[in-house]
Amino acid sequence: MRLILNVFSLFIVSLCVACQPSEPAAAPAQTGEASAAQPAAPTAADAAAFVRDAERRLEELGQYSERVAWVYSTHITDDTALLAAKASENMTAAQVELAGQAAMFSKVEGLDADTERKLNMLRSGITVPAPSDPEKIAEQAKIGAELSGMYGKGKYCPSEGECLGLSELEAVIDNSRDPAELLEAWNGWRTVSPPMKPLYARQVELANEGAQELGFEDLGTMWRSGYDMPPSEFPGELDRLWGQVKPLYDALHCHVRARLNEEYGDEVVSSDGLIPAHVLGNMWAQSWDNIYDLVGPEESDAGYDLTAILNEDGFDAVSMVKTGEAFFTSLGFEPLPETFWTRSQFVKPRDREVVCHASAWDVDEKEDLRIKMCIDVNGEDFRTIHHELGHNFYQRAYNQKSYLYRSSANDGFHEAVGDTLSLSITPDYLQQIDLLEEVPDASGDVGLLMKTALEKVAFLPFGLLVDQWRWKVFAGEVSPEGYNDLWWQLRADYQGIGAPNERPADAFDPGAKYHVPGNTPYTRYFLAHILQFQFFKALCDISGHEGPVHRCSFYGSEEAGQRLNAMLEMGREKPWPDALEALTGTREMDATAVLDYFAPLQEWLDEQNASRQCGW
């Protein structure tokens, strides 16, 4: 995926110590005495020329950065890390410079719609803008590096025993059923973040100043400007979507709380209040699928084990990817290029360190598509392969667009397309590709839906509140002293989740979530969790599926493929409602598809909750 640079890119976003935004190219001088006094004001033609030059420059830098990032990710050494950091720095320097120029050109009158759209992308395309003052640029870069280092190197060191990193503490949270052990691991990771708070507060000041230089009220306004609607209206759109799915979340919360109360008792989980964050099987309580054994239906068998089937049928990494590709070719998409098979990383090499986190790449933004994974033969990686290939086919669909339009319609679309393909791995699909002899009956559906809901429905309010917190911080609605109180207020309001104990005065619990010190916008994940179900239902309807949505397979439907491609090939050239309409026939994001998908689970939850006190 574009600019998957390296671990350094999260803090180098603000690094441009030696390069202030340069002055835009001078417009052609007028004749006569006026030209001697001052250069002519830039024109709409000058703005269009600037955009063309900016795209050429960014495309060249971007493709080089992508290649260097690939080398680093698939061959980690000190040398490749240095090269990747330098490539990222050069790319960011150009983005900072061009953003400043784009802010000036955006004020020119008479701009055509295409130029105006691209100028807005250029000036809002930096996640953490740097102020133009060289000393502040340097300070911003230093803070970003320090925050990234604090998170990456963070460890909890108990009074006895060895220090524990995040992976060891997550293993406890994910698997333990001992409340004391869970609490220690939960508190332990949150000892890493308090030193981040003063640095984060200063970073907010600097980033807001940088955003204001680019013409935005604050950094939150800048982040919200990329959704083809007034930034002030975007939060209301999110709340509308959340309101549609909240009844389903509330029912899930009620059931999960009751089962956890049965497991742990009133002293750990009350029967009518907030669920303490440490008992939900995830370090941030953002997904709950690790506690399925405690809250799932007592008698619900899916009727098959996908991991066992894959191993019995002799699948390996390549044949799993070939199966994923066949899903897309069944819809009418062209096969992946031969270079995909020779240049991708499918398995972990034995002779070097690599980044195993799954990702999709379009190295030359044309035909050099790749995935990077360390594939194991199991059901989870089978689903992940379909997800990553969704990114690849999206990337190829829009590769004829100009540089700035080679992206998804908004930042939620790319992840949603990948997840749509993951949802498509249903028993019907597995039967169609001869992995199941017959489709199991519906007796196990509630269990399957519960597993999915614990992952996806449970995530929705968390996906919403992270940026709700940041936008209030960026807008100055809360001081650093109130950061943590606001965090837990939002978690209570949206999730019905509370801290398991009183938080220390210096606590900075938001900093314990990677995306906060890493400055990665989070609303995209909320949107993706809504859109994937809207996309999935639309494709099922187009394919002529009849019956429950969660059992749909649109495998083999060329009509569905044509409609999907109509959306994918638009890239970001048009506002996202245009792209959404191309697939779904509607211009409005709609979360009712989530309710349709989980309808059998909702009915089951309502039965379970009939005698319970729900809400918090």
Amino acid identity of residue 575, one-letter, is P
DSSP-derived letter for residue 494 is: I
DSSP 9-70: HHHHTT--TT-PPPPPPPPPPPSSHHHHHSPPPP-HHHHHHHHHHHHHHHHHHHHHHHHHHH
Confidence label for 25 from pLDDT (cuts 50, 70 and 90): very low
Catalytic residue among 49, 81, 138, 358: 358
Token digits of residue 100 = 């400043």
Confidence label for 148 from pLDDT (cuts 50, 70 and 90): confident
Q: Say whether 388 is catalytic.
A: yes
Residue 11: is its pLDDT beyond 60? no
Tens digits of per-residue pLDDT, 164-210?
A: 999 899 999 999 999 999 999 999 999 999 999 999 999 999 999 99
Residue 9: is its pLDDT beyond 80? no
Angle at 503 between CA 497 and CA 508, to 5 degrees: 90
| Rounded distance between C-alpha atoms, residue 324 and residue 346, angstroms | 13
pLDDT, average across residues 406-416? 94
Closest CA to 383 of 339, 338, 426: 426
Catalytic residue among 525, 529, 550, 560: 525
Catalytic residue among 387, 414, 529, 550: 387
Tens digits of per-residue pLDDT, 116-145?
A: 999 999 998 889 988 888 888 888 888 988
Residue 165 lies in a domain: no
Residue 33: is its pLDDT beyond 80? no
DSSP-derived letter for residue 344 is: S
With b meaning 16 or more CB within 10 Å and e meaning fewer, what string describes 341-375? eebbbbeeeeeeebbeebbbbbbebeebbbbbbbb
Q: What's residue 37's pLDDT?
A: 59
Q: Say whether 253 is catalytic.
A: no
Place of tokens 């950065």: 65
Per-chain mean pLDDT for the chain: 91
Q: What's residue 596's pLDDT?
A: 97
Instruction: Give the number of other Cβ atoms within 10 Å of residue 594's Cβ.
Output: 26
Catalytic residue among 40, 171, 308, 357: 357
Residue 559 lies in a domain: yes
Name 138's Cβ contacts closer than 8 Å, sequence gap at least 6: 17
| Rounded distance between C-alpha atoms, residue 305 and residue 430, angstroms | 11
Q: What's residue 153's pLDDT?
A: 86
Instruction: Provide the residue range defining the domain that includes 428.
Output: 306-441+530-574
Confidence label for 113 from pLDDT (cuts 50, 70 and 90): very high
| Rounded distance between C-alpha atoms, residue 224 and residue 503, angstroms | 31
| Rounded distance between C-alpha atoms, residue 262 and residue 285, angstroms | 19
Residue 171 lies in a domain: no
Q: Is the Cβ–Cβ distance between 25 and 102 less than 8 Å? A: no
Confidence label for 40 from pLDDT (cuts 50, 70 and 90): confident
| Rounded distance between C-alpha atoms, residue 376 and residue 273, angstroms | 41
Cα–Cα separations (whole angstroms), residue 616 to 85, 272, 455, 461: 47, 6, 21, 15
Residue 420 lies in a domain: yes
Tens digits of per-residue pLDDT, 203-253?
A: 999 999 999 999 999 999 999 999 999 999 999 999 999 999 999 999 999
Residue 365: is its pLDDT beyond 80? yes
β pairing state of 359-362 and 369-372: antiparallel
DSSP-derived letter for residue 518 is: T
Q: Which residues of 274-328 form beta strands (DSSP E)?
A: 275-276
Q: Say whether 529 is catalytic.
A: no
Q: Is the Cβ–Cβ distance between 320 and 310 less than 8 Å? A: yes
Residue 364 lies in a domain: yes
Q: Is the Cβ–Cβ distance between 392 and 406 less than 8 Å? A: no
Secondary structure element (H or E) that encloses residue 116, with its range: helix 113-124
| Rounded distance between C-alpha atoms, residue 25 and residue 57, angstroms | 15
Q: What's residue 89's pLDDT?
A: 79
Where helices occur in 424-458 by DSSP H, the ranges are 427-432, 445-456
With b meaning 16 or more CB within 10 Å and e meaning fewer, what string describes 480-517? eeebbebbbebbbebbbbbbbeebeeebbbbbbbebbb
Q: Say whether 525 is catalytic.
A: yes
Confidence label for 111 from pLDDT (cuts 50, 70 and 90): very high
Cα–Cα separations (whole angstroms), residue 215 to 23, 66, 120: 16, 30, 10
Q: What percent of the chain has pLDDT over 90?
A: 78
Catalytic residue among 415, 416, 499, 538: 415
**Number of domains present in the structure of the chain:** 1
Catalytic residue among 55, 66, 365, 388: 388
Q: Which long-range contacts (CB under 8 A, 24 or more apart) does 349-353 make?
A: 349/74, 352/75, 352/76, 352/77, 353/75, 353/76, 353/77
Phi-psi sector, 99: left (phi>0), alpha (psi -120 to 50), beta: alpha
Amino acid identity of residue 285, one-letter, is A
pLDDT, average across residues 268-279? 96
Q: What's residue 149's pLDDT?
A: 85
Amino acid identity of residue 361, one-letter, is W
pLDDT, average across residues 269-292? 96
Catalytic residue among 515, 559, 566, 599: 515
Q: Is the Cβ–Cβ distance between 600 and 445 less than 8 Å? A: yes
Token digits of residue 425 = 């791995």
Residue 38: is its pLDDT beyond 70? no
Ranking 259-273, 300-314, 369-383, 488-502 by mean pLDDT, the lowest is 300-314
Residue 3 lies in a domain: no
Residue 64 lies in a domain: no
Residue 327 lies in a domain: yes
Q: What's residue 136's pLDDT?
A: 87
Name 422's Cβ contacts closer than 8 Å, sequence gap at least 6: 383, 384, 386, 387, 390
Residue 558: is its pLDDT beyond 60? yes
Helix H, strand E, coil C: the string for 187-212 is HHHCCCCCCHHHHHHHHHHHHHHHHH
